[in-house]
């Protein structure tokens, strides 16, 4: 695993010949065009497609002076929010998944056809929703305890095989809302197919040098089952069953960036962002708990679990350019970094659309 610490690339312009600059601009335009194309297909297919760019491309795009580019223009950020909140007009294609008369998820009518074969696990019926009856899914009445439900739905998921790709034997707790009793636990890869609420922790690791702020950015391994080769936070991970947010963060810090607990323990909880995205049969309803960690200047991250290809320390203003101009970042990471830009003064109330963008990062938070 390679690790880079080259902040000077973000401070001083590259000294290259005119012909080299022309070649670089053509490559940038090509990458931006490819990035824009990928943005239109950021579903399950694109999520597993290796992104073909390197750190030199990131630096060029971040530093490129574009005549028509205004850092105060928030449209690039709004586009990233929209990428994570698609398909609201398709909600009618999903039916509620009820446990103990509480809605815990939503299942697409198409995927529901596959679940009907498991008659000892799921039942499909009608329930009255104020003014009309609608379909719903429930567990079979014989499945009473969380353990029984977890085991039964787990067996069904195994039988479905490649219909739910990327299974990783990691369980997510299923509740009616955050902090409420757990009805059962569900394989992480299956979460969007059952439309459950899922939670994660994302941490911005930053450094201050000479009055300037830098973010440690990771580039995901090309062998990751989701979003291989894309840019990512220094530390991020889903919140599995049976562990607190803080303990999960400390664990991920050790595994993903080699940050000892004596350092990561001072990470500060700074809020949350949320999004709801429909893509085919997948309905993602996610909340990401956000943390900031100011790191020592001399610290260099080291990945321990093979999920990160390399790290780089990048000026925050350049990270903002990459987010506004490209689709290089894993989509939900963009939301967390945009939140960081708000809190650290890189997005100003004088920017048109400030309040609308701020609200869009948490537009669904009241449902959680």
- Sequence-distant (6+) residues with CB within 8 A of 327 are 35, 36, 38, 39, 42, 83
pLDDT tens-digit series, residues 48-91: 666 689 999 999 999 988 777 788 899 999 999 999 999 999 99
pLDDT tens-digit series, residues 1-52: 333 333 333 333 333 344 444 444 455 445 444 444 444 333 444 466 666 8
Q: Is the pLDDT of residue 165 over 60?
A: yes
What is residue 112's predicted lDDT score, i.e. its pLDDT?
95
Q: Is the pLDDT of residue 300 over 90?
A: yes
String of b and e for 219-245 (b: at least 16 CB within 10 Å)? bbbeebeebbbbbbbbbbbbbbbeeeb
Question: Which run of H or of E encompasses 332?
Answer: helix 331-343
- For residues 356 and 359, what is the distance between their CA atoms, to the nearest angstrom? 5
What is residue 298's predicted lDDT score, i.e. its pLDDT?
95
Question: Which run of H or of E encompasses 35?
Answer: helix 18-39
Burial of 43 (0-12, 13-18, 19+ CB in 10 A): middle
Of 84, 89, 102, 285, which is closest to residue 192 (Cα–Cα)? 285
Burial of 192 (0-12, 13-18, 19+ CB in 10 A): buried
pLDDT tens-digit series, residues 104-146: 999 999 999 999 999 999 999 865 555 444 689 999 999 999 9
What is residue 130's predicted lDDT score, i.e. its pLDDT?
52
Contact 153, 160 (CB under 8 A): no
Helix (H, G, I), strand (E, B) or coil at 364: coil
Q: What is the arithmetic mean of pLDDT over 328-339?
A: 97
Sign of the torsion formed by the C-alpha atoms of 35, 40, 43 and 44: negative
90-194: which CATH topology? Transcription Regulator spoIIAA (3.30.750)
Strands, DSSP E only, in 175-249? 184-187, 197-209, 212-220, 231-232, 235-238
Look at strands 231-232 and 122-129 and give their pairing: unpaired
- Average pLDDT of the chain is 86
- For residues 28 and 328, what is the distance between their CA atoms, to the nearest angstrom? 12
Alpha helices in 274-330 (DSSP H): 316-325
What are the DSSP calls for 88-114, one per residue?
A: GGGGGGEEEEEETTEEEEEEEHHHHHH
Contact 227, 220 (CB under 8 A): yes
55-87+197-361: which CATH topology? Nucleoside Triphosphate Pyrophosphohydrolase (3.90.79)
pTM across the whole model? 0.84
- For residues 124 and 139, what is the distance between their CA atoms, to the nearest angstrom? 9
Q: Where are the domains of the chain?
A: 55-87+197-361, 90-194
- For residues 138 and 125, what is the distance between their CA atoms, to the nearest angstrom? 8
pLDDT tens-digit series, residues 207-227: 999 999 999 999 999 998 889
Structure-block tokens of residue 182: 């757990």
- For residues 194 and 106, what is the distance between their CA atoms, to the nearest angstrom? 6
String of b and e for 352-365 (b: at least 16 CB within 10 Å)? eeeeebeebbbebe
């Amino acid at each position: 695993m390679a690790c880079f610490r080259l902040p000077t690339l973000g401070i001083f312009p590259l000294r290259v010949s005119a012909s080299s600059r022309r070649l670089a601009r053509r490559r940038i335009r090509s990458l931006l065009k490819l990035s824009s194309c990928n943005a239109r297909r950021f579903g399950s297919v694109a999520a597993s497609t290796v992104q073909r760019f390197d750190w030199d491309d990131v630096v060029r795009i971040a530093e490129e002076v574009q005549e028509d580019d205004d850092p105060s223009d928030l449209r690039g950020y709004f586009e990233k929010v929209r990428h994570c909140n698609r398909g609201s007009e398709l909600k009618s294609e999903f039916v509620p998944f009820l446990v103990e008369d509480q809605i815990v998820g939503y299942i697409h009518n198409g995927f529901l056809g596959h679940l009907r074969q498991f008659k000892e696990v799921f039942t499909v019926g009608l329930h009255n929703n104020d003014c009309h009856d609608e379909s719903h899914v429930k567990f079979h009445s014989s499945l009473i305890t969380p353990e029984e439900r977890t085991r039964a739905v787990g067996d069904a998921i195994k039988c479905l095989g490649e219909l739910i790709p990327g299974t990783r034997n990691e369980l997510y707790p299923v509740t009616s809302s955050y902090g409420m009793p757990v009805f059962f636990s569900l394989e992480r890869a299956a979460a969007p197919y059952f439309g459950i609420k899922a939670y994660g922790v994302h941490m911005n690791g930053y450094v201050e040098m000479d009055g300037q702020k830098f973010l440690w950015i990771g580039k995901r391994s090309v062998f990751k089952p989701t979003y291989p080769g894309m840019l990512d936070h220094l530390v991020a991970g889903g919140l599995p069953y049976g562990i607190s947010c803080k303990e999960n963060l400390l664990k991920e810090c050790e595994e993903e960036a080699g940050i000892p607990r004596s350092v990561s323990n001072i990470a500060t909880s700074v809020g949350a962002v949320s999004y709801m995205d429909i893509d085919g049969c997948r309905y993602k309803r996610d909340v990401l708990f956000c943390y900031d960690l100011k790191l020592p200047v001399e610290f260099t991250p080291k990945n321990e679990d093979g999920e990160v290809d390399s790290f780089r320390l990048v000026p925050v203003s350049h990270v903002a350019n990459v987010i506004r101009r490209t689709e290089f970042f894993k989509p939900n990471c963009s939301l967390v970094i945009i939140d960081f830009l708000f809190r650290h003064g890189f997005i100003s109330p004088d920017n048109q659309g400030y309040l609308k963008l701020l609200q869009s990062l948490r537009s669904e938070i009241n449902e959680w």
